[in-house]
Amino acid sequence: MTQAGQACADGESALSRGDTTAAEHHFRHALALIGAQTGDSTTEDVAATAAGDTVTDDATGCARLAARALTGTGRVLLARAEIAAAEAKFERARALRPAAAGPLHWLGCAAAHRGDLAAAERHLTASLACAVPHSRSLVQRAYVRARAGDVAAALSDLRTAALAAPLDDEARWVEAALSGRSAREVALRLRRAALTAPGALGEGTKTHDEGAGTPDAGTGTHDGRNGLRAGELIDAARGLDPTPWSFVPLHAVALVRSGRRAAALALLDDAVRHDPADHRVTHTLAVALLNSPPKEGSSLWERCVAAWAALLHDAGFWEHALTTAARRYGVPVDPSLMPALRAGVREVLERRMPDDGATARVAPGPLLQREADAAKLLAAVGGLPSAGGGGGPLFCGPLRIAELGRSAEFGAFAAARDAASAASAASAAPAASSYPSLTYAFSELGFAQLLLGQDKAADALAALSELRCPGCRAGGGPGAAAVCEPGCARFDELNPGYAGLPDKHRRLSLDARGLALEARLSMGRAELAAVRPDFGAAAAYWRRALVHSRELDRYRETQTAVVDMALGAARAAHREGRLSLAVDTLDMTRSVIGANARARLEGQLARVLADRGISVANDEEALLDQPAADLRRSVAFNPHLLRAQVSLGAVLRGLAGARWSSGSLSGARVTLREAVDRLTAALALFPDDPDLEEQREAAVADLDHVMWQPDESEQ
């Protein structure tokens, strides 16, 4: 019988873990072993064999084990709410061992589940009258009596049970409720009972086996449904004491384990609103949302993104993570690992986020990037102070700000911070007044700002083309402005950085135009950097940027930016020996820019044209018309470029010789007269320069010689 006894023990262990499938297997195996030992072919015959006229030690052992296995099988059935089948098993066990308390106890539990409280009390009382009473019968009878309305008898049973052994958390909250304790005290005991319920936190802790049920819930069986029991206890506690309370993360886990994910999320949402700076609650909410099944629409993902972004730059959360890791691994964890850990978490989150934004306002991936970058900016200025100064600062993105209903408050905070940053930047370096803007980051402009930072100017420009909420978009039509209507209820929610500003709609529109200006400037620069630049496209982008700049009163600033970009691109091409590319770049920019900003371009253009003209002229096989044209333009742009003046004289003399050789004596005369005139003018700027004087004397001599030659075309 050793094997049968072990099978029964294994079944009871499985029951304590809530694994009814394994438990049933072990109990049936035990009954099969007992049947084989007694020579009976079926488990139904075991009772008859064990209860035969001839009583032996072996028969008694078989009866005891058979009763134990039948009771265990009945408990499995009771856990599955198969009450009638469970009672049949308990009755068989009682027939085998009429004086044993176990079958009577479980018959009482089964009767309680059927609602037959009188039969339940009778069986439990009989169990208590046995030589060795069941250890839980007194508490179970208290539950039955409480459900029947006999409060005094129920209290008496609980107090008597407490004298024998400490009451568990289930019994304590029942005792507190029956004793008339305060609602808050009963709620506290309910919460404790929920947390210690088997399976509430995913643990296999062994506790008492119950079946009669507590007064409010009606069922407390120790099986796979104990998670549901934990959820019911938490609901009851919140009904008695709805105010926020400690250990919310643990209670939320218990609700999730009980299959009550929506209730867990609601609980965590309430706790976040009570203390949004508590990273323990936010972390639990973030994990629960990340592992929630997908739903219609984007609200779940937006909540998930908001929670994770609030954690990514919360120093308290990461310090706690390092402390926990050090405790887990038993070695100190260097704080320098924190940035890498944060980046790793963000990377994992980005991989988990779905890319399909068909049902969402913005796809979750870009939304997480915007939220995280905004949270980083907010963390850099110390976070948003708590409302009323009663808690820690808040580190998060715009979604969390909107969830908490603090958009107007944040708008005032962001405006003050941006004004201070702008003043500081202007005083430190007037020519470089750009600074990270909280106002932009905490608005619909944040997406464009993010894309600009990733060198995706075209995508940023597309993002700026539509900043309205879905409602305003549906009602506005294609010709409406890109921002929400003045009366839009969702404007502050989507743009907390602008909330509270008296001219918030106009400000958003102007700032969007400013980002569009930056995008077009960047797109023009990108065209110049391409392997095959599209100068027409670059010119179009920059012309449009200059139009924006006039509307924003930033025309001179934008002109300077365009010229700087063109000069940079031209210098790079010049260094690489791509002189024609440098010339084309400067010519295109000169056609776009106003006359007041052309001087810097023309100075560089003069140098590049001179270099190109001289380079081509030095090629013995090249024609001199193009070098002459380049040097004429170079001198026109910068007459003080001596190298160009001297080279122009030499090239014009060479060009005249080429025309004479080709039979055009008149063309040679015209070219030489031009050379003499230009060299004479150059000497006025550079008196007594030997190279210029030498070139002029040579040009005069050439002209005199050519003038005496007969021109066949004239004859």
pLDDT at 187 over 80: no
171-175, 491-495, 522-526: least confidently modelled range: 171-175
Residue 452 vs residue 244, higher pLDDT: 452
Q: Measure CA 454 to chain center.
A: 17
Instruction: Give the DSSP letter string of 468-535.
Output: S-HHHHHHH-TTS-SS--TT-TTHHHH-TTTTT-TTHHHHHHHHHHHHHHHHHHHHHHHHHHSSS--H
Mean pLDDT on 433-447:
77
Mean pLDDT on 562-583:
93
Q: What does the mean pLDDT of the chain come to? A: 83
315-324, 331-340, 384-393, 536-545: least confidently modelled range: 384-393
pLDDT at 104 over 90: yes
> Across-strand partners of 394?
384
Which pLDDT belongs to residue 179?
77
Confidence of residue 41 (pLDDT cuts 50, 70, 90): very low
Quick check: helix, strand or coil at residue 394?
strand
Spatial CA neighbour of 361 closest among 438, 472, 287:
472
Q: Tokens 């911070």 correspond to what residue? A: 417
Which pLDDT belongs to residue 53?
41
Mean pLDDT on 290-318:
82
* Global pTM value: 0.65
Which pLDDT belongs to residue 51?
43
> Which of 55-59, 85-89, 200-204 has maximum average pLDDT?
85-89
Which pLDDT belongs to residue 555?
92
Give the span between the Cα atoms of 65 and 104, in whole angstroms.
Answer: 16
Which pLDDT belongs to residue 294?
66
pLDDT at 432 over 80: no
Residue 241 vs residue 438, higher pLDDT: 438
Mean pLDDT on 245-251:
74
**Residues 109-133: pLDDT tens digits?**
999 999 999 999 999 999 999 999 9
Q: Tokens 């070695």 correspond to what residue? A: 331
Q: Measure CA 89 to chain center.
A: 54
Number of H helices, E strands in the chain: 35, 0
**Residues 608-620: pLDDT tens digits?**
999 999 999 988 7
349-363, 371-385, 616-630: least confidently modelled range: 349-363
Mean pLDDT on 273-296:
84
**Residues 1-19: pLDDT tens digits?**
688 889 899 999 998 887 8
Residue 676 CB contacts under 8 Å (≥ 6 apart), including other chains: 696, 699, 700, 703
> Across-strand partners of 384?
394
pLDDT at 209 over 60: no
**Residues 138-153: pLDDT tens digits?**
999 988 998 888 888 8
In order of 349, 568, 666, 668, the CA distances from 675 in angstroms are 72, 34, 14, 10
